[in-house]
């Protein structure tokens, strides 16, 4: 259920200089790459230990939402201090743990590792395209924010309902919607950095990390539904 937590309000009134924008973008990319390390570690630990195996249905939703929003609140409070990076990395470890249940299910397929690598490659491809677009599009995209926020809230509500309904068709529809919304969010968030709207690299990293995780998880869900091969 990580595909429903991108709900941070973004409003920018200060525009950074070119040098500051480049610094924020560079630091964001470095921290984003670093954040994937605890994510992988968390996912590995979860799969190896089975610690999240019992977190299904409502219990899993409560643990995920409580942990995710708790961490995001802590990140917001510490983003201008030395504690900001460790708190963010702790959050990415938590997300890895929460992803481990889905990853373990996909690994149950005969072609599970291939599906995971395909989802990872597809997510990296989406990020590369959006990063390229953010550097060439000159138009101000800040107006997209409110529409993307509405879309994110809609898929969050739909995802919560589907946890209790358990509809495969509903999961497919939500996954497709999440891929579209958070791919667009990727472009929006990158463009905010490029245009100088976002001046804190920890906040920027958090936003992009959420975009990437949402796209990855939804791609993996669709690949598991359509491409999973049983022994």
- Per the domain annotation, does 120 fall within a domain? yes
Parts of the chain with a pLDDT under 50: 1-14
pLDDT at 22: 87
Closest-CA residue to 190 (of 3, 24, 33, 16): 24
Domain annotation covers residue 9: no
Largest Cα–Cα distance of the chain, in whole Å? 57
In a domain, 172, yes or no: yes
Query: At residue 217, what are phi and psi to the nearest 5 degrees?
Result: -65, -40
Enter the pTM of the model.
Answer: 0.88
Taking the CB of residue 158, how many other CB atoms lie within 10 A of it?
A: 19
Report CA Rg, the chain.
Answer: 17
Residue 3 DSSP one-character state: G
68 near 5, Cβ under 8 Å? yes
Return the pLDDT at 77.
94
Report the pLDDT value the prediction gives residue 60, as an integer from 0 to 100.
79
The token duo for 3 is: 């595909």
Structural domain tally of the chain?
Answer: 1
Residue 2 within a domain: no
Give the pLDDT score at 48.
92
CA nearest neighbour of 208 among 177, 230, 183, 226: 183
pLDDT on residue 6: 36
Tell which residue, 13, 217, 7, has the closest CA to residue 101. Answer: 217
Residue pair 38/91 in contact (Cβ under 8 Å)? The answer is no
Range of the domain at 114: 16-227
Give a yes or no: residue 34 inside a domain. Answer: yes
The verdict on residue 3 lying in a domain is no
Residue 74 CA to residue 78 CA, distance in Å, equals 6
Within a domain: residue 11? no
**Positive or negative CA dihedral for 38, 209, 4, 117?**
negative
Q: What is the pLDDT of residue 10?
A: 39
Q: In this predicted structure, what is the pLDDT of residue 231?
A: 65
């Amino acid at each position: 259920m990580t595909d429903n937590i991108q709900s941070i309000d973004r409003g920018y009134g200060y525009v950074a200089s070119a040098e500051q924008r480049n610094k924020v973008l560079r630091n964001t990319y470095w921290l984003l790459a670093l954040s994937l390390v605890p994510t992988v570690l968390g996912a590995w630990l979860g799969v190896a230990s089975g610690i999240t195996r019992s977190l299904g249905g409502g219990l899993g939703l409560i643990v995920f939402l409580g942990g995710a929003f708790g961490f995001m609140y802590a990140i917001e409070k510490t983003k201008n201090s030395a504690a900001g990076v460790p708190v963010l990395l702790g959050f990415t470890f938590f997300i890895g743990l929460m992803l481990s249940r889905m990853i373990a299910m996909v690994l149950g397929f005969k072609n599970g590792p291939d599906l995971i690598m395909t989802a990872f490659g597809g997510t990296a491809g989406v990020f590369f395209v959006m990063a390229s677009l953010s550097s060439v599009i000159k138009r101000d995209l800040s107006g997209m924010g409110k529409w993307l926020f509405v879309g994110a809230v809609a898929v969050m509500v739909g995802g919560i309902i589907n946890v209790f309904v358990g509809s495969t068709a509903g999961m497919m529809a939500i996954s497709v919607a999440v891929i579209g919304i958070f791919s667009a969010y990727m472009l929006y968030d990158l463009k905010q950095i490029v245009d100088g709207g976002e001046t804190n690299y920890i906040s920027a990293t958090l936003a992009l990390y959420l975009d990437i995780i949402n796209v990855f998880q939804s791609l993996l869900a669709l690949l598991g539904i359509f491409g999973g091969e049983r022994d």
